[in-house]
Structure 1
Amino acid sequence: MSAETPVQSAGTFTRLRLRFRDWRGTRPFWAGLFTLLGGVPIAYFPYATLKLGTMSLTMATTAGAGSLIIGVLLVTLGLTMWFQQATRVFAGVAAIILALVSLVVSNIGGFIVGFLLAMIGGALAVSWMPGKDRPEAGKPQDGAEGPTGEGAAPSAPEGTVEPGPSYPPYGTADGGPAHGGGPLGFRAEDRVGGDRVG
């Protein structure tokens, strides 16, 4: 496949991968993923039953319903970060608060795993900012100087120094010395060889 081949002629997997990358880049994807994954162990462990040979170990607590609610809310907040990125700050703060509550309610926050995942996801959501669009080729960026095509002013040849901005004489408008001298009260014309004359 050459560099000039359009994306449409690429394989289905490549097209899907590029579409997913564009979708992922416009939202706090990793924040939502960590928050969603953090809700799974918090909701799962209070209802899990481990089998050790003939012995079964149940980790159910009296706060099983609270753990389920926290886990479902974290999964919902993770999906909200993906599909309603305008509410990312609220969702991030809510995920951090629910992660802290899960330490008390849900088996030490899903044995610390769910707590850490939800905390990282919430912090990423709060700190995420939408990126700026890349400027199109040939268009000057914000703050860039004038056009660069045929109508542009010619630039100075290499090795020459372009003149800087011009400033009003010192002391005329800002309350300095009335005779237009420098900051020490004398003009450049009064200096000969670095010494003050007169």
Structure 2
Amino acid sequence: MFLNPGPTEAAPRLSRFPVAGREHVRTARHRFRAWRGSRPFWAGLFTLTAGVPILYFPYVRLSLSGIPLALSTTAGAGALITGVLLIALGVSLWVRPQTRVFAGIAGLLLSLVSFPLANFGGLFLGLLAGLIGGSLACAWAEPAQAGAPDTDV
């Protein structure tokens, strides 16, 4: 009864969206894929994500099994500047992919500076994400044009 609907039972509807809605979602997904493929998307995402824990941990009050854990440092302003700059570099990688080398090297340096400055680089989360994002930004190459001749001989 549950696996095969009988002749009197209607088959379950697979989608809530009408066909036109599916086409809209499909075209939006294809446009996002084309946009993502034309810029260092993952480098920007990792770099942007690196700024969040660097910003978060110096200003939050944590507790470990009821024991208050203060991660506030005297260099809270340094953590704020480092985190905001990493977020700005991640967004700039999406908006201006031409700045990928500068943003990649700056992301790498800011991530390394965050280690002593901002609670071990946001408890190593921001440090690792920033190193990965900066490396991806430096390694990213623009996709070849469809009609352009191949120069790799």
**Shorter-chain TM-score range:** 0.7 to 0.9
Aligned to 1:142: 149
125, 131, 143: which is aligned to 1:131? Answer: 143
- Aligned partner of 2:109: which letter? I
Aligned to 1:97: 109
Higher RCO (CA-CA < 8 Å; seq separation 6+): 2
1:106-121 matches, within 5 Å, as 106-121=118-133
What are the Cα deviations for residues 66-109 of structure 1, in whole angstroms up to 9, with x where unaligned?
Answer: 10110000000000000011111000000000011001101111
- Aligned partner of 1:45: which letter? F
- Aligned partner of 1:21: which letter? R
Cα RMSD after superposing both structures: 1.9
- Aligned partner of 1:28: which letter? P
How many residues were matched structurally? 131
* Superposed displacement of residue 10, structure 1: 5.2
Aligned to 2:72: 60
63, 83, 86: which is aligned to 1:74? Answer: 86
TM-score, scaled to structure 1:
0.62
What are the Cα deviations for residues 126-184 of structure 1, in whole angstroms up to 9, with x where unaligned?
Answer: 1111011224xxxxx738xxxxxxxxxxxxxxxxxxxxxxxxxxxxxxxxxxxxxxxxx
Give the gaps of 5 or more residues in structure 2: 1-19
User: Could you say which structure has the higher helix fraction?
Assistant: 2
What are the Cα deviations for residues 173-196 of structure 1, in whole angstroms up to 9, with x where unaligned?
Answer: xxxxxxxxxxxxxxxxxxxxxxxx
For 1:10 and 1:53, locate their aligned partners in 2 and report how far apart those are by CA, in whole Å. 48
Q: Percent identity?
A: 50
Say which SS state the counterpart of residue 69 (structure 2) adopts.
Answer: strand
6, 10, 13: which is aligned to 2:25? Answer: 13
Aligned to 1:32: 44
119, 122, 138: which is aligned to 2:134? Answer: 122
For 1:126 and 1:41, locate their aligned partners in 2 and report how far apart those are by CA, in whole Å. 22
Aligned to 1:4: none
What are the Cα deviations for residues 31-66 of structure 1, in whole angstroms up to 9, with x where unaligned?
Answer: 000000011001110111113465432211111111
